[in-house]
């Protein structure tokens, strides 16, 4: 046990509290569609000094997972249940059979805030949050999610059938929301709103939970010109050179070892790209990098606020992405494509080739159940609560573990019923033993299913398909974390065991959904 911590017997439960004897403030930061290798401390060339410093003084996970898709991932993160249990598997909507982190942490006396993207039809203000400012919907224009403003171009939209997105400001729901400030940019606005809540309640004795959910770097690719200028020349070397440099850096900083062989690249050769298209590809990646850069700048602003309040030592900061980098091509169907790439009217997507690079060294990308789709960076920073900082953990985790972790740390009560209905029990395991230095492997299996992709892990094995079971692959993840050596033919009994596990899990999820309605 960390010598800086002490043990407190509280309401019959053994709770590990920091030396101060106070429950920690908790800041959970989520980004959207960011690849595993995009930030500096995970091998990327994007300038992320604030995240790198959190990692250096905290803990990095190399085997932590989402669901490969935005809204199912977010529902798992917020409820501690699989999307198949909380009503957000096939489409997004209200959380059913579930409670939110906000509702649970209120039982431990927390003030609760949520800022940014939700991806739901349900206002977070009604589900355990004292304040919610943000985007209820999915992808939205970063410069202006609403109506055209006087003197400005018409904002680009993802599809003509969905010209606007829904925003909420506590109980007030707006569709469309047209920001009155012409300097509006989603990342900056969300950071300003979060800082506003922190300042408003800075003298309150209650601990707080802040969920800060950025849209970036999800398309459309929009970034401030001064941030884009930092990167426009860097990406002229092309896909292979950037991926190779990232892999080399990952090994040099000790993030990966021989159990991470580099998966076969699937991007096209850079010298085969048409010169006109090549310039667009350079711009795409430069804007994407600039979006991540701006997120890091914003995290620096938040951290400065925490430090000014004298609360950094006892603040737990968690940072993750909701899925791997996206190879989706929303640009092709976008309603408006006026102006240059990166501007108001142009809805640009990153594309498959750069997405493959962003997820180095993993295979595939968003919507796939291979590691490129489901493996997220996870940084945990908590000076008073994490033993031996600057560690790298290969503990296999999943977004369902965040609820269990916060319940464990705070002593909050996870209920059996909510609003007169039964609640599915927490599905995850606490990461607090990992924070304290445990190196044991996960005993429980983990399951995935989104669209045509699915997977299951148990011990060292992972069984996965990203094409609706046309191709089923088995990997030993203890020696081949990047899924390069298929072993199904040599281990048919393992394949059968994992197939049975996955089938049983789907049945249990269906039963949970029916019994707890």
Return the CATH number of the domain spanning residue range 24-515.
Answer: 3.40.720.10
- Residues 379, 384, 387, 391: is their CA dihedral positive or negative? positive
Q: Report yes or no: 178 and 154 within 8 Å, Cβ to Cβ.
A: no
How is residue 164 written in tokens?
């606007």
Indicate the pLDDT class of residue 83, thresholds 50, 70 and 90.
very high
Q: What is the pLDDT, as a whole number, of residue 434? A: 97
Q: What is the pLDDT, as a whole number, of residue 10? A: 36
Tell me the domain boundaries of the chain: 24-515
Enclosing H/E stretch for 376:
strand 375-381
| Segment 243-273, tens digit of pLDDT | 999 999 999 999 999 999 999 999 999 999 9
Lowest mean pLDDT among 257-261, 447-451, 508-512: 508-512
What percentage of the chain has pLDDT greater than the value 90?
86
| Segment 158-175, tens digit of pLDDT | 876 566 789 999 999 999
What does the pLDDT average to over 220-224? 97
| Segment 461-496, tens digit of pLDDT | 999 999 988 999 999 999 999 999 999 999 999 999
Indicate if the pLDDT at residue 185 is higher than 80: yes
Helices (H), 225-361: 225-228, 239-252, 275-308, 352-358
Q: What is the pLDDT, as a whole number, of residue 17? A: 56
Q: What is the pLDDT, as a whole number, of residue 19? A: 55
Indicate if the pLDDT at residue 13 is higher than 80: no
Residues with Cβ within 8 Å of 74's Cβ and at least 6 positions away in sequence, in order, are 30, 88, 117, 118, 119, 120, 213, 322
Residues with Cβ within 8 Å of 304's Cβ and at least 6 positions away in sequence, in order, are none
- Name which residue leads in pLDDT, 415 or 330: 415
Indicate the pLDDT class of residue 8, thresholds 50, 70 and 90.
very low
Catalogue the long-range contacts made by 146-153 (C-beta closer than 8 Å, 24 or more residues apart): 146/176, 146/177, 146/178, 146/179, 147/176, 147/178, 149/178, 149/182, 152/182, 152/344, 153/338, 153/339, 153/343, 153/344, 153/345
- Residues 391, 395, 398, 403: is their CA dihedral positive or negative? negative
Whole-angstrom distance, CA of residue 489 vs CA of residue 264: 21
Residues with Cβ within 8 Å of 491's Cβ and at least 6 positions away in sequence, in order, are 461, 474
Residue 313 CB coordination number (10 Å): 16
What does the pLDDT average to over 65-90? 96
Q: Report yes or no: 395 and 389 within 8 Å, Cβ to Cβ.
A: no
Q: Going along 66-207, which residue ranges are E strands? A: 111-116, 131-135, 167-169, 172-174
Query: 309: left (phi > 0), else alpha (psi -120 to 50), else beta?
Result: alpha
Residue 198 CB coordination number (10 Å): 20
How is residue 212 written in tokens?
């800060």
Please, what's the largest Cα pairwise distance for the chain?
68
How is the chain split among helix, strand and coil, in percent rounded to 5? 30, 20, 50
| Segment 313-338, tens digit of pLDDT | 999 999 999 999 999 998 888 887 88
Whole-angstrom distance, CA of residue 43 vs CA of residue 40: 5
Whole-angstrom distance, CA of residue 427 vs CA of residue 85: 10
What does the pLDDT average to over 186-214? 97
Residue 275: burial class (beta carbons within 10 Å; 0-12, 13-18, 19+): exposed
Q: Report yes or no: 128 and 423 within 8 Å, Cβ to Cβ.
A: no
What does the pLDDT average to over 496-514? 91
Lowest mean pLDDT among 104-118, 137-151, 195-209, 229-243: 137-151
Q: What is the pLDDT, as a whole number, of residue 516? A: 59
What percentage of the chain has pLDDT greater than the value 70?
94
Q: What angle do CA 317, 111, 91 make, to 5 degrees?
A: 75
């Amino acid at each position: 046990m960390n010598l800086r911590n002490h043990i407190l017997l509280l309401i019959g439960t053994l709770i590990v509290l920091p030396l101060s004897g106070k429950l920690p403030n908790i800041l959970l930061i989520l980004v959207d569609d960011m690849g595993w290798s995009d930030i500096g401390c995970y091998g990327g060339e994007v300038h992320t000094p604030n995240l790198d410093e959190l990692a250096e003084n905290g803990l990095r996970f190399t085997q932590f997972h989402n669901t490969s898709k935005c809204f199912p991932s977010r529902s798992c993160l917020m409820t501690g249940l699989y999307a198949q249990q909380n009503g957000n598997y096939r489409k997004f909507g209200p959380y059913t059979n579930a409670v939110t982190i906000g509702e649970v942490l209120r039982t431990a006396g927390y003030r609760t805030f949520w800022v940014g993207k939700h991806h739901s039809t349900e206002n977070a203000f009604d589900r355990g949050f004292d304040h919610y400012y943000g985007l209820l919907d999915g992808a939205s224009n970063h410069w202006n999610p609403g109506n055209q403003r006087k003197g400005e171009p018409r904002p680009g939209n993802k599809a003509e059938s969905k010209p606007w997105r829904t925003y909420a400001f506590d109980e007030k729901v707006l569709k469309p929301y047209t920001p009155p400030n012409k300097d509006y940019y989603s990342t900056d606005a969300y950071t300003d709103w979060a800082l506003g809540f922190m300042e408003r309640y800075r003298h309150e004795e209650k601990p707080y939970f802040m969920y800060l959910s950025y849209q970036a770097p999800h398309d459309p690719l929009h970034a401030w010109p001064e941030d884009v200028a930092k990167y426009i020349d860097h990406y002229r070397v092309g896909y292979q050179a950037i991926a190779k440099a990232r892999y080399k850096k990952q090994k040099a900083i000790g993030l990966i070892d021989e159990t991470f062989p580099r998966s076969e690249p699937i991007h096209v050769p850079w010298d085969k790209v048409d010169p006109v298209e090549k310039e667009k590809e350079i711009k795409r990646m430069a804007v994407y990098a600039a979006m991540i850069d701006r997120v890091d700048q914003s995290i620096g602003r938040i951290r400065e606020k925490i430090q000014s309040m004298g609360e950094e030592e006892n603040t737990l900061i968690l940072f993750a992405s909701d899925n791997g980098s996206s190879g989706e091509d929303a640009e092709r169907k976008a309603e408006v494509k006026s102006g240059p790439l990166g501007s108001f009217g142009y809805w640009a997507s990153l594309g498959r080739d750069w997405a493959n690079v962003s997820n180095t060294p993993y295979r595939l990308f968003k919507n796939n159940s291979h590691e490129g789709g489901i493996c997220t960076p996870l940084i945990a920073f908590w000076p008073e609560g994490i033993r031996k900082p600057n560690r790298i953990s290969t503990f296999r985790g999943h977004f369902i573990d965040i609820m269990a972790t916060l319940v464990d740390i705070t002593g909050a009560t996870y209920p059996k019923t909510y609003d007169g209905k039964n609640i599915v029990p927490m599905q995850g395991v606490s990461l607090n033993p990992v924070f304290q230095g445990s190196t044991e492997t996960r005993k429980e299996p983990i399951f995935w299913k989104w669209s045509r992709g699915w997977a299951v892990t148990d011990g060292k094995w992972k069984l996965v398909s990203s094409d609706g079971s046309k191709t089923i692959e088995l990997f030993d993840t203890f020696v081949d974390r990047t899924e390069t050596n298929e072993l199904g033919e040599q281990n048919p009994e393992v394949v059968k065991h994992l197939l049975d596990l996955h089938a049983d899990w789907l049945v249990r999820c269906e039963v949970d959904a029916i019994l707890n309605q």
